[in-house]
A and B are shown apart, each in its own frame.
Chain A
Amino acid sequence: MRRGFRRAAVCVLLLVGLSALFAPSIAPYDYSRQFREAPNAPASRRFPMGTDDLGRDRFSRLLYATRVSVMLAPAAALVSILLALLISAIAGTRKQWVDRVLSGFTTLCLSLPWIFLFIILRAVLPLNTRPLASVLITFGLMGIAGWAWPARIFTASIRQMTQSGWLVQARASGIRPWRIALVHGWPHLRAVATAQFLVLVPAYILSEASLGLLGLGVAEPLPSWGNLLAELQHPSRVHDNPWILAPLALLMLVMISLESLHPAREVIA
């Protein structure tokens, strides 16, 4: 039963990933193309999910939004993991005072709720940016601001590793530090890093959705799941066109699929 569920989840993620990758070929229109004669049009053969209040095809926008949200959340998670690994490696292998300073810095970063930290950083940067820049800022800041959670776990693992006999033997044998790290250390950390990656990806997808709803995420006209969900702030429109709920349904489907790949959940903002 569980294996079947996992297979179904992988199929869903593959399907979503492929449709995101080939969005320009699948989407009938460009995401920003306006049909001014048909604003808020209901679902039809011409517009499978209807149009928004600016006359843009919802289906095309959903495909492009999936591209932005599904492709960039893993990229941001990868940035966080790499940063966390780098900082943890420094903290776990250098002198004790370096470890203490970095541990204090990690505690400080964890002392601010993630979204508040993001709001501060976002406020320092220009608010009126071009869509592409807004995508890079949103996911880049997520990647940079989200390193502290995995770093704490990596530091503990690295510290444990540095006290192990095989590492002492490897160092005594004259093996170079980078070789120890890559050839001998990484296989020990890989499982933890993968688990953290799988925890961060859904967290970033949800964060992007929250930021998009707040108007601090990806800038229009570029669609993302977050700014498509902003339409939910007008419930009367949902009654008129239930397809407005399509981004939410897709987001939930992807989240459930990701969860079933990694059922062990941790407390993460």
Chain B
Amino acid sequence: MPFLNRLASNLITLALVVLAGGFFAAALVRYSPGFDSIPEDLNPGISSATLRVLHARHGRENSLPVFYARYLAGAIQGDFGISQNLKQPVTDLLRQRAPVTARLILWGTAGGWLLAGLLAWTAAWTRRVARGDALEAAALSISGLLLAIPPVVLALAFFFYRAPLGLALSLALLPRLFGTMRALLDDCWSSPALLAARSRGVGPVVIAARYVLWATAPQLIALFGVALVLAFGLAIPIEALCDVPGLGALALQAATSRDMPLLCGMALIIAFFVAFVHAAGDLAGGLTGERA
């Protein structure tokens, strides 16, 4: 039952994000500069009175509620309009670019999540079990140093030395996940249940697999979802600067050319993706939590 409640709540949130995101996107397109101009504006043979009537009709036909309904109906069917700058359907552009970004994000997130987990595990284990400072200090220093480097600079260095950009994304993500993972694992290692298990002579491998990983799995899975979203945010400037033909480069191109239909189509898709990832992470975490 709690799972069904959680599912319903997530579906409602997803629907609200699409509705509100669609409204935001439609409002931006509707009020973008140049939207109110009509082709007849350039025709010197048309009188100003006729132009006024034509503009009034254009305004009525494209009032925000009407435009929003039309935009949302199109978006649900996968039609996000035509890119003003590239003169191509926005759907086609997104379909071409999305796989590139998806690959980068997936590799980057998986790497970042694993590396952060490894580092957090080292820090928590040395603090609670090995009682040593050196490894924990090293883990903290690595994380702190990586957090101090702007992700785009890290990616540029990887780009110029022809190293995989997915690894740059992983290293940029690592410190952003490390703090939460470390706190999570630290709490788990210091829990009374674990102390009792250790005092009864349960082996370290069993403790790690049975008690620590299993107990923290829901939060770690949910954190993977958060990491995906973070990776997407980090991938935008990385793609734009490192000539990766993904959604990030497209977003920047759309922003600099003020291509509102393209930008808004992307906003809607991204908002849906983020809400979907959060919902999936929440549900997966809930399922694992119930079983644990």
Q: Do A and B come from one complex?
A: yes
Chain B residues touching A, majority SS: helix
Interface residue? A111 (CB, 8 A): yes
Interface residue? B100 (CB, 8 A): no
In the complex, chain A residues 248-269 whose Cβ is within 8 Å of any chain B Cβ:
248, 251-252, 255-256, 259-260, 263-269
Q: Tell me which of B62-70, B143-151, B187-195 binds A.
A: B143-151
Q: Is B150's CB under 8 angstroms from A229's CB? A: yes
- Please, which residues of chain A bring their CB within 8 A of the CB of B232? 113, 116
A267-B267 contact given A113-B229, A120-B28, CB 8 Å threshold:
no
A267-B17 contact given A113-B274, A206-B150, A214-B241, CB 8 Å threshold:
no
Q: Is A267's CB under 8 angstroms from B226's CB? A: yes
How many Å lie between the Cα of A113 and that of B270 in the bound state? 8
- Please, which residues of chain B bring their CB within 8 A of the CB of A252? 145, 148-149
- Please, which residues of chain A bring their CB within 8 A of the CB of B149? 248, 252
Q: Is A104's CB under 8 angstroms from B20's CB? A: yes
Q: Is B153's CB under 8 angstroms from A209's CB? A: yes
Interface residue? A233 (CB, 8 A): yes
A255-B147 contact given A104-B16, A115-B237, CB 8 Å threshold:
yes
How many Å lie between the Cα of A61 and that of B20 in the bound state? 43
How many Å lie between the Cα of A269 and that of B267 in the bound state? 17
The chain A residue sitting closest to B20, CB to CB, is A108
How many Å lie between the Cα of A104 and that of B16 in the bound state? 8
- Please, which residues of chain A bring their CB within 8 A of the CB of B278? 111
In the complex, chain B residues 179-238 whose Cβ is within 8 Å of any chain A Cβ:
179-180, 183, 223, 226, 229-230, 232-234, 236-237
Q: Is B230's CB under 8 angstroms from A116's CB? A: no
In the complex, chain B residues 23-73 whose Cβ is within 8 Å of any chain A Cβ:
24, 28, 32
- Please, which residues of chain B bring their CB within 8 A of the CB of A133? none
- Please, which residues of chain A bring their CB within 8 A of the CB of B143? 265
Q: Tell me which of B86-94, B163-171, B256-264 binds A.
A: B256-264
A111-B21 contact given A209-B150, A255-B147, CB 8 Å threshold:
yes
A210-B271 contact given A123-B260, A127-B256, A216-B255, CB 8 Å threshold:
no
A142 to chain B, nearest CB (A): 14
How many Å lie between the Cα of A116 and that of B24 in the bound state? 14
A100 to chain B, nearest CB (A): 10
- Please, which residues of chain A bring their CB within 8 A of the CB of B223? 267
- Please, which residues of chain B bring their CB within 8 A of the CB of A136? none
Interface residue? B176 (CB, 8 A): yes
Q: Is A213's CB under 8 angstroms from B274's CB? A: no
Interface residue? A172 (CB, 8 A): no
How many Å lie between the Cα of A260 and that of B119 in the bound state? 18
In the complex, chain A residues 182-230 whose Cβ is within 8 Å of any chain B Cβ:
202, 206, 209-211, 213-216, 229
A27 to chain B, nearest CB (A): 24
Interface residue? A174 (CB, 8 A): no
Interface residue? A107 (CB, 8 A): yes
> What total of chain A residues lie within 8 Å of the partner, measured CB to CB?
44
B3 to chain A, nearest CB (A): 20
How many Å lie between the Cα of A127 and that of B147 in the bound state? 30
How many Å lie between the Cα of A127 and that of B256 in the bound state? 7
Interface residue? A6 (CB, 8 A): no
Q: Is A123's CB under 8 angstroms from B148's CB? A: no
Q: Is B150's CB under 8 angstroms from A119's CB? A: no
The chain B residue sitting closest to A225, CB to CB, is B150
Interface residue? B254 (CB, 8 A): yes
Q: Is B21's CB under 8 angstroms from A108's CB? A: yes
Q: Is B148's CB under 8 angstroms from A255's CB? A: yes
Q: Is A116's CB under 8 angstroms from B270's CB? A: yes
- Please, which residues of chain B bring their CB within 8 A of the CB of A123? 254-256, 258, 260, 263
In the complex, chain B residues 237-292 whose Cβ is within 8 Å of any chain A Cβ:
237, 240-241, 251-252, 254-256, 258, 260, 263-264, 266-267, 270-271, 274-275, 278
- Please, which residues of chain B bring their CB within 8 A of the CB of A105? 20
Interface residue? A114 (CB, 8 A): yes
- Contact for B148 among A108, A114, A119, A256, CB less than 8 A: A256
In the complex, chain B residues 85-144 whose Cβ is within 8 Å of any chain A Cβ:
140, 143-144
The chain A residue sitting closest to B21, CB to CB, is A108
In the complex, chain A residues 106-139 whose Cβ is within 8 Å of any chain B Cβ:
107-108, 110-116, 119-120, 122-124, 127
How many Å lie between the Cα of A265 and that of B146 in the bound state? 13
Q: Is A113's CB under 8 angstroms from B236's CB? A: yes
Q: Is A235's CB under 8 angstroms from B240's CB? A: no
A119-B274 contact given A206-B150, A209-B152, A251-B150, CB 8 Å threshold:
no
The chain A residue sitting closest to B149, CB to CB, is A252
Task: Provide 19 A-B residue pairs closer than 8 Å at the C-beta atoms, listed in order of the A residue.
Answer: A111-B21, A111-B278, A116-B232, A116-B236, A119-B263, A123-B263, A124-B32, A209-B153, A211-B237, A213-B153, A216-B255, A248-B149, A252-B145, A259-B144, A263-B140, A265-B178, A267-B223, A268-B176, A269-B234
Q: In the A-B complex, list the 8 residue pairs whose CB atoms are closest, starting with the nearest.
A: A113-B233, A265-B179, A255-B148, A123-B255, A209-B150, A252-B148, A111-B274, A119-B255
